[in-house]
Structure 1
Amino acid sequence: MVRTLITPSTQVGLSTSPGKPRALPGEAFVPERATPRAPAARPRRKGLRHPLSLPVLLFAMTLGLILLHQGRLVEYFFPLGAFGVALVLYWRSPAHYIGFVCWLFFLTPEVRRLADFVNGSFNQQSPIMVATLLAVSLTGLTLLKHVSLLGQRRAAPLVLIVIALLYAFVVGMAQVGPAAATFTLINWLYPVMVAFYLTVTWRHYPDYHRVLLKTFIYGGLLMSLYGLLEFVSPMPWDAFWLISSKMLSEGQPVPFGMRVSSTMNSCGPFAVTLMTILLMSLAARGKARIVLGCVGVPVLLLTSARSTWGGFAIALVYSFVMLDGKSRRRLMAGVLGLAVVAAPLMMIDQVAEPVLQRLSTIQDLGKDDSYQARAEFYKSFMSSALTDIAGQGLGTTGLGSKLSDDTASQARLNFDSGLMEVPFVMGWPGTLLYTTGIVMLLWRAYRASRQHPTDLLAVSGVGVAVAIFSMMVFINTLTAVSGMFFFLGVTLPVISLRYARERHGAVAAAPARF
């Protein structure tokens, strides 16, 4: 009988499953489901045999009701059904729960358009739009169950951010009332709660790696293809929505006349979502990723969202610097390949005209109305935003101001600077806490990705966070769906490193086999 010595070099090959080594710091990360016998393995819950069956059934039944012209029924069935599906996935499969939340953000606005179209009337306050908030609100249960985690160092940045939000909420209640302040608090808070949920369920990171990549790849393909169709030949329900909503900035409901918003509310949120998907897809493999890049990049250009173009470029530069040599070559080859594919499209006048027109405004800012308005905004609000010590509170800016009786707050609906909105809303105390928490999250995510550089999803996540944060110059991107992607980006690298270290420690502590 020969004893097998366990040395650092042989530990790399150890695994709880024969032939499937686990990822350790310094190794390439290969997501794999942990076995129950593995030391410190993720706790196994009674999972769903087919976790995708419930979401597919929900969307299929919703489509069936729309085909039957039961739009009013859809307004109540869809949010209640989405909450029910989210509740089951929340208890049974954390990764599929987060994936389902992403799908709701992707598709809920399109469900609302279809329901309004078959109803023949535009519902300004459609209950369908509550579906995403109902689903994501379940992360609040995690806070109640794991409130003791708030006292640990790993939760310190999130605690600082939450304290800042609660401070601004109290001030907002006094300024504009509970309705406006509460609505705004929800949009600022739920991205933070998603990050807390990921922090608690870090042992499921391999599932997050697998499920989120599939969600981004297939969700991005669906939305990109639909976006192309929307640009070339708008669907009747899309034209009906654009006319009824009176969103003049989205273009005209004619072929080659709309700024692409695909299945989402407007071109801005869709552009940030598609940018996130394209950056996260750098960690994927297979032909679907290539197809997504070929379709998604032209669609991103057709959104005409210049701030997102800039964020995407910053993230690509960051990823190029941080990736290893092989991944760097793959990225360069992908960028060159996309340029070759996109070149013929730019020769079509209807496609090239809106893109070139937006690019020309970057070169000649003096004739750019948007830039001039933003520059004037900075001049008028700079002093008030930086000298108001207490702040105006949540609900005085953004969509929540519509619920306020304060006419001045309603006039500040479009606050064209996230960097100015934070001090304006939170004052000096809240701004200090909020910015400290955000900077801590970014720094911690960067360090984690550097210590575990072979996990490409972690590196891509930091790139997404850097891109979204850089866009704060133009608009507040740390709230709502863009904020959720930011907090996903800064949390995934941290739980990836923690999972890898836990597995490494478990393997090192495993008894020798004889």
Structure 2
Amino acid sequence: MTHLISTFNDDDRIAWQKLVLLVGLGVITLLGSFTGPGLVVRLFFIVASGAIAFYLYSKSTPEYISFVFWIWFLAPFFRRFSDYYNGFDDLGIMILAPYVVTLVAIIKLVQNPAQLSRIGYSSFTLALAAIAYSFWIGWLSNPPVAVIRASLDWFPPVVFGLFLALHWRIYPQLKRSIQKTFTWGTLLMGSYGIYQYVIAPAWDVYWMRNAAINSVGRPEAFGIRVWSTMNAPGPFAIAILAGVMILLSYQPPIFLPSFLTGFLSFLLAGVRSAWVG
């Protein structure tokens, strides 16, 4: 095995490192949910996710981007699993992990602020300025926690989009990384989505009852509007639709299982507004 790994190029080695770190993060979080204090597990997940993101950022932009997508795909699942064994967390602090890993990209903006003045990035800078202005207005008239929480829904995606735009020179590598991530992500999320609909796992049912969100269906088998490993049917439908469309664009070796599980779970989500793309 050591000899085999030594024959990989740098990109392959970092890709394997990302896989090992991601799987290790998931395994430790799941095992910790059984045995460890809830707060410790939740904080570990956030800190470890951020540390891995920073490491990958420093080693490989494509693998960092892939890791960001994976954390967005999986963090809500780990939150529900932890809640089931450690008690419902009203704050949902584990959901901070996707924002943390995404905001690692801001390092690029801070290191190269002159690039933001180029005309090609003006739409991003205008969006960031609008968010900053909205944050200031909100801060003056609303509770700070609510303002910060609302800003997290707007600021990180724009920063991440700008980060992608700034790396246009390595577009082929980014494209391959995103294609692979969504191919396997669609297979995993699609498969779990079908399992969720048929079985209604205890942690998902527990979350539905405590979160008191009526729009996700009934907490029973064949009654759930599928949201798979994500936190609601709407975001899941958009993510899985993107995965299905990416699959159609290049048809990888695992096209058929990924497409079938992804498309079926997309339909089971019941988000009709997403059916028209």
2:78 alignment partner in structure 1: 111
Q: Is the 8 A contact 1:117 1:237 kept in 2?
A: yes
1:243 alignment partner in structure 2: 209
Deviations 1:153-189 (CA, angstroms, capped at 9, x unpaired):
1111111212222222222222224333332222211
Cα distance in 1, alignment partners of residues 175 and 153 from structure 2: 26
Alignment of 1:163-242 (within 5 A): 163-242=129-208
Instruction: Give the 3 Å change call, closer, same or farther, for CA 228–61 of structure 1 in structure 2.
Output: same
Corresponding residue SS for 2:16: coil
1:92 alignment partner in structure 2: 59
Deviations 1:360-408 (CA, angstroms, capped at 9, x unpaired):
xxxxxxxxxxxxxxxxxxxxxxxxxxxxxxxxxxxxxxxxxxxxxxxxx
Cα distance in 2, alignment partners of residues 239 and 179 from structure 1: 28
2:266 alignment partner in structure 1: 300
The amino acid of 1:230's aligned partner reads: Q
The amino acid of 2:268's aligned partner reads: L
Asked if 1:68 corresponds to 2:69, the answer is no
Cα distance in 1, alignment partners of residues 151 and 85 from structure 2: 33
Deviations 1:482-511 (CA, angstroms, capped at 9, x unpaired):
xxxxxxxxxxxxxxxxxxxxxxxxxxxxxx
1:363 alignment partner in structure 2: none
Corresponding residue SS for 1:106: helix
Query: Identical aligned pairs, as a percentage?
Result: 30
Cα distance in 1, alignment partners of residues 24 and 30 from structure 2: 10
Identify which of structures 1 and 2 has the higher relative contact order when contacts are C-alpha pairs closer than 8 Å and 6+ apart: 1
Correspondent of 2:253 among 287, 293, 307: 287
Cα distance in 1, alignment partners of residues 152 and 252 from structure 2: 38
Corresponding residue SS for 1:124: coil
Q: Higher helix fraction: Structure 1 or Structure 2?
A: 2
1:140 alignment partner in structure 2: 106
The amino acid of 1:291's aligned partner reads: P
Gapped regions of structure 2 (runs ≥ 5): 1-8
Deviations 1:102-155 (CA, angstroms, capped at 9, x unpaired):
111111011011111111x21111321111111111111111111101111111
Cα distance in 2, alignment partners of residues 134 and 236 from structure 1: 28
Corresponding residue SS for 1:48: helix
Q: Is the 8 A contact 1:69 1:118 kept in 2?
A: no
> What's the RMSD between the two structures over aligned residues?
2.0
Shift of 1:236: 0.8
Shift of 1:49: 7.2
Give the TM-score normalised by the residue count of structure 2: 0.90
Cα distance in 2, alignment partners of residues 177 and 140 from structure 1: 26
Cα distance in 2, alignment partners of residues 55 and 207 from structure 1: 20
Shift of 1:300: 1.0
Matched positions, count: 267
The amino acid of 1:229's aligned partner reads: Y
Corresponding residue SS for 2:218: coil
Q: Is the 8 A contact 2:216 2:232 kept in 1?
A: yes
| Larger radius of gyration between Structure 1 and Structure 2 | 1
Which deviates further from its counterpart, 131-140 or 71-80?
71-80
Q: Is the 8 A contact 1:94 1:204 kept in 2?
A: no
Gapped regions of structure 1 (runs ≥ 5): 1-34, 36-43, 312-514
Q: Is the 8 A contact 2:196 2:228 kept in 1?
A: yes
Cα distance in 1, alignment partners of residues 150 and 267 from structure 2: 30
Runs of at least 4 residues off by over 6 Å: none
Q: Is the 8 A contact 1:51 1:96 kept in 2?
A: no
Q: Is the 8 A contact 2:30 2:82 kept in 1?
A: no
Cα distance in 2, alignment partners of residues 142 and 192 from structure 1: 13
